[in-house]
Amino acid sequence: MTHLSVNINKVALIRNSRGSELPNLLQVALDCERFGADGITVHPRPDERHIKYDDCRTLKPQLSTEFNIEGYPDAKWLALVKEVQPAQATLVPDDPNQLTSDHGWDTIKHADFLRSVIEDLQSHGIRVSLFVDPQEQYIEGAKKVGADRIELYTGPYAHLYPDGPAKAIDKYVPAAKFAQSLGLGLNAGHDLNLDNLAYFHEQIPFLDEVSIGHALISDALYYGLENTIQLYQRRLHK
């Protein structure tokens, strides 16, 4: 069964725009769980423009599903993750001022750094996923540095999907099967939405998790949060 983890960064962004607690981030996270989400994802950035570091501390003891913290593993982020101890830490190679994640790790060039970070997090009982592009050398590199899972960066898939689903996914299916053959768990995320999610899942049914935020929160403006989560779950055959 593929789990749906709801990224609530955009909810925090709306809250921060008025400097208040409206919408209440914790309540939204708990409601996402109540409405059928299998997990909650956050991505605190150095400038805390959406998720704040203290949000992670508030959320963790209240959540009943898996908590996933994404981010670039600098010293401050690592200290937070080891303190909060989420079920999963997803390492992304973002620059501090990057608008959104738009590429995966070069797991060969950064092998020593990643191996050290992964061992540190795993020693605290945290599962580690690496954000990677659908290229075998980087997936093999993820295995070599000790990652538990990879998260396939699906931005290019989403970009190409309107012009032809088969062409959009042609690199992802062999990459996913290669990861599976290495014994890596498999996540996917970035720009997945109600239009393109079902096809992606049909072609790669052994996905462990998809993490979706921007599109899901945007859809919730029209359909409501509870209905939207159920719509996404139905795309995953639930």
Look at residue 238 and tell me whether its pLDDT is greater than 90.
Answer: no
Summarize the confidence of residues 17-26 as an average pLDDT.
Answer: 95
Residues serving a catalytic function are 43, 70, 190
127, with CB counted inside 10 A (0-12, 13-18, 19+), is middle
Look at residue 220 and tell me whether its pLDDT is greater than 80.
Answer: yes
CB-CB neighbours of 54 under 10 Å:
11
The pLDDT of residue 106 is: 96
Q: Which residues contact 130 (CB under 8 A, 6 or more apart)?
A: 90, 91, 104, 105, 107, 114, 142, 145, 147, 149, 150, 151
The pLDDT of residue 103 is: 79
The pLDDT of residue 97 is: 61
Q: For residue 202, what are its two tokens?
A: 């049909």
Look at residue 99 and tell me whether its pLDDT is greater than 60.
Answer: no
Q: Distance from CA of residue 81 to its chain's centroid? A: 15
Strand partners, 204: none
Confidence class for position 147, pLDDT limits 50, 70, 90 = very high
Look at residue 133 and tell me whether its pLDDT is greater than 90.
Answer: yes
Summarize the confidence of residues 193-216 as an average pLDDT.
Answer: 98
β-pairing verdict for 185-189 and 127-132: unpaired
Look at residue 98 and tell me whether its pLDDT is greater than 70.
Answer: no
**For the whole prediction, is pTM greater than 0.85?**
yes
Q: Which residues contact 126 (CB under 8 A, 6 or more apart)?
A: 81, 82, 85, 86, 87, 88, 89
Summarize the confidence of residues 132-154 as an average pLDDT.
Answer: 98
pLDDT in tens, 155-203: 999 999 999 999 999 999 999 999 999 999 999 999 999 999 999 999 9
| Domain 3-235 falls under CATH 3.20.20.70 | yes
pLDDT in tens, 60-89: 999 999 999 999 999 999 999 999 999 999
